[in-house]
Amino acid sequence: MSTDAVSTSSPHAHITIHRSHTLPPTAPLSSQVGGHAGVQTTEDGSLLLKPALSRELAFYQLVRDGISSDIGGATAAASGLKPLLPWIPKFLGVLSIGNHLVDVSPETMATHGLPAVPPANGTATTIVLENLTYGFHKPCILDVKLGTILYDEDAPPEKKERMIRTAANTTSLSTGVRLTGFQVYANDLPDPVLTPKKYGKTIKPEHLPDGIARFFPFRDPASSTTAPPSFPLSSNDITTPDNIQPGLPLPSLFVLLTHLLEALERLRAALAEAEVRIVGGSILIIYEGDWARAEKASFEENDDDDECENEDEEDDPRLFRLSLIDFAHTRLVPGQGPDTGVLLGIDTLIRLIRERRDVVQPLINKV
């Protein structure tokens, strides 16, 4: 094991950091359902390497450490960022020029040899995050774009006009959400059913419940049937053969929806205290599509109301994860209150999940 030393400066102190080990090679992220291309994952699947703008790096530093290289602790505290910490991916640091993971936080103080990720769109920084899907055997993933304003304040006028039209022509402006893409697994097949971004850009607000039903389908193990959503799609919208029917058994799905609702309420409370503008950010919902692991996790979930805040053992199944992601255009606005467009989106999602649970609940006794 190499112990090459690297010196780095930080707002806190001058720290000497040591390389502890070399991680496996990387590959493109296969389970990405939204966002920009260029995200990579380590071979073991535990970490993500993502090209990032300086503003996104600063946001991760502020939420985790309460300070960044250009924003002081008082400003961060006034913006109410700390309650968001349980809801964002764990930030480990950045890749330095020497391909080491550099993190000067008091908790880590380590560098790991990592392969470089080519910069995207002129971005010079690659941040290293936990892979939120790690540990799921069949990760069902939904990316929900939040907010009613889709452009940054310093965007060129033509981009602002384009994003205003996009919000008005999709579900974003009226509901604060857009389903940007998702994947769902069938229990007995290795590959997921994919629904691309095109779907979320073409549906109207009245079709959102059908989109949620498509992401949270249910299966009756006795009859091997699934409940299809009522909104028809063209054959080009979903990449799946007709005989693939994804979905969890009703009891597991009901537990999932119940605890997801509770988590969304807690996330909303945290966002209501945060004086930020999250432009282009998303909610990422991941749940276990493997029936046996989902059933085991459902029993454990009923005994643990702090799912999003507790660290699970690596081999223990996790029923779901709920996270905020994508902060390239997030900015602090102390004294200006929370992002009302994002809160509208959270409220819409809470309503949609509650409606889906209300469909599932009366069917449980019939199984």
Percent with pLDDT over 70 in the chain: 70
Q: Which of 110, 85, 131 has the alpha carbon at shortest distance from 318? A: 131
Say how far apart CA 290 and CA 189 lie, in whole Å.
10
> Which among 108, 77, 146, 141 is positioned nearest to 324, based on CA atoms?
146
Query: Which of 130, 151, 172 marks a domain boundary?
Result: 130
Q: Give the SS3 label for residue 142.
A: strand
The domain total for the chain is 2
Shared domain for 338 and 203, answered yes or no, is yes
Residue 55 is part of which domain span? 26-130
- Separation between Cα atoms, residue 146 and residue 140, nearest integer Å: 19
Of 130, 152, 169, the residue at which a domain comes to its end is: 130
Number of Cβ within a 10 Å radius of residue 14: 9
* Integer Cα distance of 299 and 315 in angstroms: 16
The DSSP secondary-structure symbol of 98 reads: T
Say if residue 53 is in the same domain as residue 161: no
Same domain, residue pair 117 and 179: no
* Same domain for 284 and 191: yes
235 within domain boundaries: no
How far is C-alpha 198 from the geometric centre of its chain's CA atoms? Answer: 19
Report the pLDDT value the prediction gives residue 79, as an integer from 0 to 100: 83
pLDDT tens digit sequence for 165-224: 999 999 999 999 999 989 999 998 999 999 999 999 999 999 999 999 999 999 865 554
CATH number, domain of 157, equals 3.30.470.160
Give the dihedral sign, CA 264/265/266/267. Answer: positive
For 306-360, what is the HEC assignment?
Answer: CCCCCCCCCCCCCCEEEEEECCCEEEECCCCCCCHHHHHHHHHHHHHHHHHHHHH
126 and 144 assigned to the same domain: no
Minimum mean pLDDT range among 65-74, 133-142, 182-191, 258-267: 65-74
pLDDT for position 275: 95
In a shared domain, residues 214 and 178: yes
271 & 356 share domain: yes
Q: Indicate if 83 and 104 belong to the same structural domain.
A: yes
Q: State residue 192's pLDDT score.
A: 93
Look at the chain and count its residues. Answer: 367
Cβ atoms 62, 68 nearer than 8 A: yes
| The two structure tokens encoding residue 43 | 């071979």
pLDDT at 364 over 90: no
Position 44 confidence tier, pLDDT thresholds 50, 70, 90 = confident
| Structure-token pair, residue 155 | 């965007």
Q: Of 80, 101, 130, which residue is a domain's last?
A: 130
Residue 278 inside a domain? The answer is yes
When mean pLDDT is compared across 158-167, 273-282, 295-304, the lowest value belongs to: 295-304
Look up tokens 């091997």; give the residue.
224
Rounded Cα distance between 217 and 306, Å, is 25
- The answer to whether residues 244 and 344 touch, using CB atoms and an 8 Å cutoff, is no
Tell me whether residue 6 is in a domain: no
Inform me whether the pLDDT recorded for 237 exceeds 90.
no
Do 209 and 288 fall within a single domain? yes
What is the reported pTM? 0.82
Nearest to 219 by CA among 114, 161, 289: 289
Q: What are phi and psi of 43, to 5 degrees?
A: -60, -35
Q: 216 with 337, same domain?
A: yes
Residue 6 above 60 pLDDT?
A: no
Q: What is the pLDDT of residue 112?
A: 44
